[in-house]
Amino acid sequence: MKKLILFIAVSLFVLSANAEYLRGGFNGWDTSFEFSSGDSFIEYTFQYSGTTGSVGFKIDETGDWSNQWGGNVTAVVNTSKGKVTKGWGDASIDLTDTKHYTFKLGGESGWTDRDLIVFETDATPVSIVSVTDDSISATSDLTVTITLDANHTQDTVYLRYTTDSWSTSTFMKASKTADMTYQATISSIAESATVNYYVMTSSFPQATLESSPDEYFLKRNTNNGANYSYTAPTVTQLQDIKTAGFDVMVNHKSIRLALASDIAQYANVSVISLSGQLQSSRSYSLVSGQNNIDLPQTFNSGIYIVAVQMGETRLVKKVAIR
């Protein structure tokens, strides 16, 4: 007897007030696969256990076949979307034993034709755990670090960014830098330019994803819809970094900062690894004549960025600890 292992998907969009079900040869045509809801698509993810090849299915809105969609589906797994048609016979699609499939269904219950997108992955689709960047120390290049809950297989990690409020946008594949950690660098950002970005995963080709990014993603992190942003410093700010400088002294893995004499009353000091991970961040209240700041902790061997924010002035230096 074949077994069926199920994985409930994370919902993306809200659609119908009614429960909707994915019914077919992969679940004995029962109502165990209930779509999760979102705003323009609903979805369900499962692992297929059965004979590789064409498998019949239908969409059933209420679980009693009173409102259903099927027909000649033109969707191709990981290649292109198709449609299911109201009131037609069984639909079918090619599935492979042990693979994981995510069905995304668009439209509403009153529609005759509804969009269908099917993703195939070797394992449960990865989730995006966190998104960080090195904006505190960046100038014209911004490195974004993406942490997943597992190493991806077929679902590739992408960064999408814009410098003109999404009139145009650029997609980048993130590269693996550590276990479950990926990075992408947005380079040559113009002075004073603001970059908005978010990250996503997909098992579709990049060109297909670029053609309709709100459809062909598996998971994404948009900072709760606000997107992430970074504004590159002006030439004046860069001059501040070079002229209103400070020295960094290292002794037994400890860091001391020697600031210029015309420092502000308050300073925020951050230490960031080259991978973009914040190692330390602390504010200091400085008295007249105080030019040195001793950071209270020690650091492992490596290369770090030390950033000092004093009012509108930002000072940045790179330091090696051996």
Q: What residue ranges define each of the domains in the chain, with the CATH number in brackets?
A: 21-121 (no CATH), 128-231 (2.60.40.10), 235-321 (2.60.40.3080)
pTM above 0.85, yes or no: no
Look at residue 256 and give its three-state secondary structure: strand
If one compares 144 and 266, the residue with the highest pLDDT of the two is 144
The per-residue pLDDT of the chain, averaged, comes to 84
Q: Which residues does 259 contact at the CB level (< 8 Å), separation at least 6?
A: 246, 267, 291, 292, 293, 308
In the block, residue with structure tokens 């908005």: 196
- CB 302: neighbour CB atoms within 10 A? 13
Q: Which residues does 24 contact at the CB level (< 8 Å), separation at least 6?
A: 55, 56, 57, 58, 90
pLDDT band at 261 (very low <50, low <70, confident <90, very high): low
Q: In degrees, to the nearest 5, what angle opens at C-alpha 72 toward C-alphas 100 and 41? A: 50
Write out pLDDT tens, residues 88-99.
899 999 999 999
Query: 113-121 and 82-86: which strand pairing?
Result: antiparallel
pLDDT of residue 101: 97
- The yes-or-no verdict on residue 6 having pLDDT over 50 is no
- Cβ(11)–Cβ(43) below 8 Å: yes
- The yes-or-no verdict on residue 264 having pLDDT over 60 is no
Chain centre distance of CA 227: 10
pLDDT band at 123 (very low <50, low <70, confident <90, very high): very high
If one compares 196 and 305, the residue with the highest pLDDT of the two is 196
In the block, residue with structure tokens 């290649």: 79
Write out pLDDT tens, residues 36-66.
975 568 999 999 999 999 999 999 999 999 9
Separation CA 262–CA 62 (nearest Å): 72
Separation CA 68–CA 85 (nearest Å): 8
Query: Per-residue pLDDT averaged across 196-222, rounded?
Result: 95
Query: Per-residue pLDDT averaged across 221-239, rounded?
Result: 77
Query: Per-residue pLDDT averaged across 263-272, rounded?
Result: 76
In the block, residue with structure tokens 């079918």: 92
pLDDT of residue 143: 93
Query: Per-residue pLDDT averaged across 232-247, rounded?
Result: 54
pLDDT of residue 300: 85
- The yes-or-no verdict on residue 255 having pLDDT over 60 is yes
- The yes-or-no verdict on residue 241 having pLDDT over 60 is no
Amino acid at 147: T
Percentage of the chain beyond pLDDT 70 is 85
- Cβ(58)–Cβ(83) below 8 Å: no
pLDDT of residue 239: 43
User: For the chain, where are the alpha helices, taking DSSP H only?
Assistant: 206-211, 235-243
Separation CA 283–CA 311 (nearest Å): 12
Highest-pLDDT range among 14-18, 113-117, 261-265: 113-117
116-128 CB burial, b ≥16 within 10 A, e <16: bbbbbbebbbbeb
C-alpha dist (Å) from residue 286 to 129, 268, 294, 306, 308: 37, 11, 12, 18, 13
pLDDT band at 257 (very low <50, low <70, confident <90, very high): confident
- The yes-or-no verdict on residue 116 having pLDDT over 80 is yes
Own/partner long-range contacts of 222-229 (Cβ < 8 Å, ≥24 apart): 222/198, 223/131, 223/198, 227/196, 227/197, 227/198, 228/131, 228/133, 228/144, 228/196, 228/197, 228/198, 229/194, 229/195, 229/196, 229/197
pLDDT band at 134 (very low <50, low <70, confident <90, very high): confident
pLDDT of residue 282: 86
Chain centre distance of CA 311: 32
Separation CA 237–CA 229 (nearest Å): 18
Write out pLDDT tens, residues 275-315.
778 888 888 877 666 677 888 888 887 778 888 887 767 77
